[in-house]
Amino acid sequence: MRIVVVGAAGMVGSRVVSEAVNRGHDLVAVFRRTRPVPGREHIVAATTTALLDAAAKAGTRVLVVGGASPLRVPDDPGLLVLDSPRYVPPEIRTIAAASAAQLDACLAHPASWVYLSPPALLEPGTRTGEYRRGTTTLIADADGTSRISAEDLAVAVLDELENPCGDRHLTVGY
């Protein structure tokens, strides 16, 4: 399968590239030479719309790895992660809001897309090849911990690309 990874030099993108190569896919890696600049979160939705426009024109499916903020809190399904200080401290609320706006951009677009929300904590780690899958509610342990390694998130991305589940919004975690 031919896969284009936008953000291929990032924490998740680089691991998606490795996982795709290890699985024998034809890969195109797209990346920028500079790090993203804080304060530019407002362009996330517009950038996503532009990618969806291009994908629709090409007749291609897009998998967007977004953020956890548009997910529901497990013990309070009326509350979004975005609005939970437990998961989103004030100093990252602007960034978290950008991922909610990103999902809204997807929902408003006719392109073929799927939005994958990672758990609340995403960091480099070990590839176990195992994870739990859900839809619109944050996956968390009994104590509320919501996490996955970037390596296992990449496994989930490739699993979804190879065998689409049919959900437009999904999440993964341990």
Q: Which residue has the tokens 């392109």?
A: 111
pLDDT number for residue 34: 75
Look at residue 37 in the predicted model and tell me its pLDDT.
78
Q: Is the pTM of this model over 0.75?
A: yes
Is residue 138 pLDDT above 80, yes or no?
Answer: yes
Going from N- to C-terminal start, the domains of the chain cover 40-173
pLDDT in tens, 98-127: 999 999 999 999 999 999 999 999 999 999
* Cβ partners under 8 Å of residue 146, min gap 6: 68, 87, 119, 120, 121, 138, 139, 140, 173
Say yes or no to pLDDT of 11 above 90.
yes
Q: Quick one: pLDDT band at residue 75, thresholds 50, 70, 90?
A: very high
- Nearest Cα to Cα of residue 147 among 101, 87, 103: 87
Share of residues in the chain with pLDDT > 70 (%):
99
Whether the CB-CB separation of 28 and 6 falls below 8 Å is answered with no
**Where do the H-state alpha helices sit in 3-110?**
11-22, 44-58, 93-107
Return the biggest CA–CA distance within the chain.
45
Decide if pLDDT at 93 tops 80. Answer: yes
Look up tokens 């998740």; give the residue.
Answer: 12
Contact 122, 150 (CB under 8 A): yes
pLDDT of the residue at 32: 82
d(CA 115, CA 109): 12
**pLDDT recorded at residue 111:** 97
Region 60-67: mean pLDDT is 96
Give Cβ neighbours of residue 69 (< 8 Å, ≥ 6 apart). 80, 81, 82, 88, 96, 97, 99, 100, 117
Report yes or no: 133 and 160 within 8 Å, Cβ to Cβ.
Answer: no
Between CA 22 and CA 154 the distance in angstroms is 11
Out of 3.40.50.720, 3.40.640.10, 3.40.1440.60, 1.10.150.120, select the CATH number for domain 40-173.
3.40.50.720
Predicted local confidence at residue 20, as pLDDT: 98
User: Distance between CA 33 and CA 94 in Å, rounded?
Assistant: 24
